[in-house]
Structure 1
Amino acid sequence: MRIYVPPNEPFYDDTEEHRRLVEAANRGRAEYPRWKAMIDRLEDRYSLQNESLHILAGWVDSAYSARVYRPKDVEPVPSLSSRASLSFHVSLLGPYYGIHDRGEPDEIPAAVAEEIEATYPGYRPIPPELGNEVVPDVAMDTVSMGTATIYMCLFSPKWTWVDPV
C-alpha cells in the first residue's frame, strides 16, 4: 500500500504491469455478460458458485473464476471434503483457461472445457507442466515470494482453492 512507501517512491500501483492489469479488469467488466451467460448455462447442470462478481464492483482481478460442487462435496457435516472439487478460470490477460480438478472420474471437466471453448473461441488450456512452474520473483496477496505458479499469476491465487487429491 502507498502508505508504507516513502514519499515520491514508486510502488506497484504506479507500474506499467498494474496499468495493464487494470485495463484487463476493465475489459472483464465490459465483457461480463458473456461470462455470466456461460455461468448460467453451467449452473443449469451443476451446483456452481460464481467467484467473479467483485469484478463488477471495480476490483482488479486477472481472471473470471468459478467453483463446481459435486454432489459428494456437500455434506450435512462440514469437512475438508465439503470444499469444491473443481474450479475453473478464464484469463482476462490472454486467451487461456484453466480447470483445477481433484481428478474425479466424471464428465464435468470435459463439459466445462467444452463450454469455455464454445464461449471463448481461441482460448486454450495451459498444460500442467507449464502452469505448475514456479515464478521465482513473484509474491501475491496470499502467496509467498517464490511459491507463485504460472497458474496463480494468470488466474489469481484462487487457483489454490481446490486441492488435488
Structure 2
Amino acid sequence: MMTTHSQLLDIVYRFYPRKMLPIAREHVPPGEPVYDDTEEHRRLVEAANRGRAEYPTWEAMTRRLGDRYRLHDLSLHLLAGGTAPAYSAGVWISDETALSFHVSLLGPYYGIHLPGIPEEEPAAREIVQEIEATYPGYQRIPPELGDEVVPDLFAPVAYFGVATIYVCLFSDYWWTWVRPV
C-alpha cells in the first residue's frame, strides 16, 4: 500500500499542533497556551512511552546491525524520558561517512538518510531488510514525500517553514551530518 502526502500530514498534525512554538512555559505570558499543554504533545509523550516499552526490539535489531557495522544508537535519550518521535541510529560506511536510519513511533514508517556515495547501497539494503523483518508492515517514506515542508508548523523545531515530514516523523537528526566519534 502506497502512503500519500495527506496521510503523512494527518499523522504529523496528530502530534504537532499548527502555529504553536515549542517553547517552555516560562517564556510565554501567563495564560498563553504552550505545546506541552496540548493534546498533540500528550500523544507524543504516549508514543515515546511505547517506544521505551518496546525498546528491546529496537535494541536487538541494532545489535544485529552492530555486528556488521560500527553503529551509533541515537535513541538512548528515550530511555531517560525523552519524547523523540522515532528510534534513530547511524552506521559508518566509511571512516568519514555514515548513513542514518529511523523507525517512527508515530506511525508505521521508516526512513534511511543516505549520504550519496556508492558504498551506501549494500548497507542500505541490509538495513531495509532488518527494519522490514523487525517491523512488519512498516513502509519507507520516499524523499519526494519526506522532504516536503509541513505547512503551519513550528514543532519539533522552532523555525517556521522548515519542519519537514521526515523531521516530524523521525528526528531533527535527519538534518545533521554524522561524523565519526
Normalised TM-score (structure 1): 0.87
Alpha-carbon RMSD across the aligned residues, in angstroms, is: 1.5
CA contact (8 A) 1:87 1:161 kept: no
What letter corresponds to residue 24 of structure 1 in structure 2? Answer: A
Letter in 2 for 1:86: L
* Correspondent of 1:146 among 161, 176, 179: 161
1:51 partner letter: L
Higher deviation after alignment, 148-157 or 86-95? 148-157
TM score, norm. by length of structure 2: 0.80
Which consecutive residues of structure 2, in runs of 5 or more, have no partner in the other structure?
A: 1-23
Q: Percent identity?
A: 62
Distance, in Å, in 1 between the alignment partners of 2:32 and 2:154 is 20
1:109-135 deviations in Å (ceiling 9; x for gaps): 111011000000110100111001111
Whether the 8 Å CA contact 2:157–2:163 is kept in 1: the answer is no
Q: Give the Å deviation of 1:87.
A: 0.3
Shift of 1:142: 4.8
User: For structure 1, which runs of at least 5 residues remain unmatched after alignment?
Assistant: 74-83
Residue in structure 2 matched with residue 64 of structure 1 by the alignment: 87
Q: Which runs of structure 2 are paired with 1:117-156 in the superposition (5 Å)?
A: 117-140=132-155, 142=157, 144-156=159-171
**1:141 Cα deviation after fit:** 5.6
Show the 5 A alignment for 1:69-108.
69-73=92-96, 84-105=97-118, 106-108=121-123
More relative contact order, 1 or 2 (CA 8 Å, 6+ apart): 2
Corresponding pairs, count: 153
